Amino acid sequence: MAVYTEVSEGEASTLLHSLGLGHASALRGIEGGIENTNYFVTTPEGEWVLTLFERLTHAQLPFYLHLMQHLARHGVPVPEPLAKLPGTRIGAGEDDILHTLRGKPATLVNRLRGRSELAPGPAHGAQVGEMLARAHLAARDFDRHQPNLRGLAWWNETVPVVLPHLTPAQAALIRAELAFQNHVAASSAYAALPRGAVHADLFRDNVMFDGKPDAPRLTGFFDFYFAGVDTWLFDLAVALNDWAIDLPTGRADAARTQAMLAAYQSVRPLTGAERRLLPALLRAGALRFWVSRLWDFHLPRAASMLTPHDPRHFERVLRQRIAEPLCP
C-alpha cells in the first residue's frame, strides 16, 4: 500500500480550495507505489493525483515539478502540477506549485488516462520515441539546472560499495565497464553530445496508453523524480534498454529498436557523434540500472517498503550490449 501518510477529505479539500478546485468528492489511496503517498482525488473540476513526498524535501523538488510544468505547457503530455490561486499565502519552502500537507511536501497534478503497457510492441515504442524527442526539444529553454544524480559520479562512488557482494566474474565486468564509461565521458565526442533536461527513467511503467490493443495512443509520461540534466542520447538509451529488450534474455529486439529509433529521429535526427556513441551509451544505461539495483538489493534502506528488482536483469542487458553492439 502506497499510503504512508493518511489524509482526510477535509484536509485534501483545504488544499483543493487554494487551487480553485472546490472540495474533494472522493479520495482514494493508490496501491503499488514505493516512495511516496499517492491518492486519486475527484472534484467537480475533474480527476487528479495528490502526492505527498515521504523522502524528498521541499528544497529538492522544484526542479522536477517545474520541469513537468514546462513540458506540459509546451504540449508534451505529462502531469502538470496545479498552482495556487493568486493571493494565496505561500508557506515556508513552498512555491506556487509546491505545497505542504500534513507537514509533507505535496503536489496535485491532473490524472492521465489509460494504463501502462508492460508487454509493448513496436507501435508502443514508436510513440514513446517520438514523444521523447519532442520532450527533449521542448526542454531546450528550461532554465533550471540539476545534474543527473544517478550519473557517472554516482556510479564511481557506488561501484566500490557493491563490489563485495559480487562474484569475481561480476566484479571484473563492472570494473571494466566503469573504466570504459569514464573513458567515454572524457572524450571530445562525448563533450559534443546535445544535452538538456532528461527523464532518465522512462520505463514501461512510467508511460500511459489508451485506445485499442492494435491501435494504442500514448497519453503521457510520468514519474520525473530521477530527472536531471544529461545527454539526450543517454535518455534515449535508457528507454531503448527497457522498451526494446527481451526481458528473459536481455537481448535487443530488432523490430522494437528500429521502430523507436526511427520515430525519435523523425522529430530529432541523431547527430553523427550520437550515432557513433549510441552503443556506448546503451552500455551506460545498462550499467546505471545494474548498479542501482545492486545497491537496492544488497544495501536496502531502513524501513523501506521497496521489493528490490533482480539486479541480474541489467547485468544480462549489459553483457548483451557488449556482445552485440547496436549499429544505428
Distance CA 92, CA 89 (A): 10
The domain that contains 92 carries what CATH number? 3.30.200.20
Do residues 131 and 234 both lie within one domain? yes
Residue 116 in any domain: the answer is: no
Order across the sheet with 46-52: list the strands: 26-29, 37-43, 46-52, 104-110, 99-101
What is the DSSP annotation of 44-87?
TTEEEEEEE-SSS-GGGSHHHHHHHHHHHHTT---PPBPPPPTT
Range of the domain at 131: 122-323
Do residues 182 and 300 both lie within one domain? yes
Do residues 99 and 228 both lie within one domain? no
Predicted pLDDT at 36 = 86
Predicted pLDDT at 307 = 66
Do residues 72 and 138 both lie within one domain? no
Predicted pLDDT at 306 = 54
Predicted pLDDT at 32 = 63
Residue 115 in any domain: the answer is: no
Half-sphere exposure of 243 (CA within 13 A, CB side): 32
For residue 209, what are the CA distances in angstroms to 218, 259, 270?
4, 17, 26
Lowest mean pLDDT among 107-111, 133-137, 142-146, 298-302: 298-302
pLDDT at 169 over 50: yes
Domain end position, chosen among 110, 134, 168: 110
Q: What is the mean pLDDT of residues 8-17?
A: 94
Q: What is the mean pLDDT of residues 135-155?
A: 97
Do residues 46 and 82 both lie within one domain? yes
Domain end position, chosen among 84, 110, 136: 110
Total of domains in the chain: 2
Do residues 94 and 128 both lie within one domain? no
Residue 176 in any domain: the answer is: yes
Predicted pLDDT at 34 = 65
Do residues 106 and 127 both lie within one domain? no
Do residues 237 and 193 both lie within one domain? yes
Do residues 186 and 68 both lie within one domain? no
For residue 20, what are the CA distances in angstroms to 24, 96, 97, 108, 280?
12, 13, 13, 12, 48
Q: Write a three-state SS string for 288-310.
A: HHHHHHHHHHHCCCCCCCCCCCC
Helix residue ranges per DSSP H, 186-271 = 188-191, 232-243, 254-267
- Per-residue buried b or exposed e for 287-300, using 16+ beta carbons within 10 Å of the residue's own CB: bbbbbbbbbbbeee
Distance CA 267, CA 260 (A): 11
Do residues 91 and 193 both lie within one domain? no
Predicted pLDDT at 35 = 76
C-alpha cell at 110: 491532473
Residue 33 binned pLDDT confidence (cut-offs 50, 70, 90): low
pTM: 0.94
Do residues 185 and 37 both lie within one domain? no
> Closest by alpha carbon to 106, among 114, 94, 116, 121?
94
Helix (H), strand (E) at residue 134:
helix 122-138
Residue 249 binned pLDDT confidence (cut-offs 50, 70, 90): very high
Predicted pLDDT at 328 = 74
Residue percentage of the chain with pLDDT more than 70? 96
Residue 328 in any domain: the answer is: no
Which DSSP category does 201 fall into? -
Do residues 13 and 148 both lie within one domain? no
Helix (H), strand (E) at residue 180:
helix 168-185
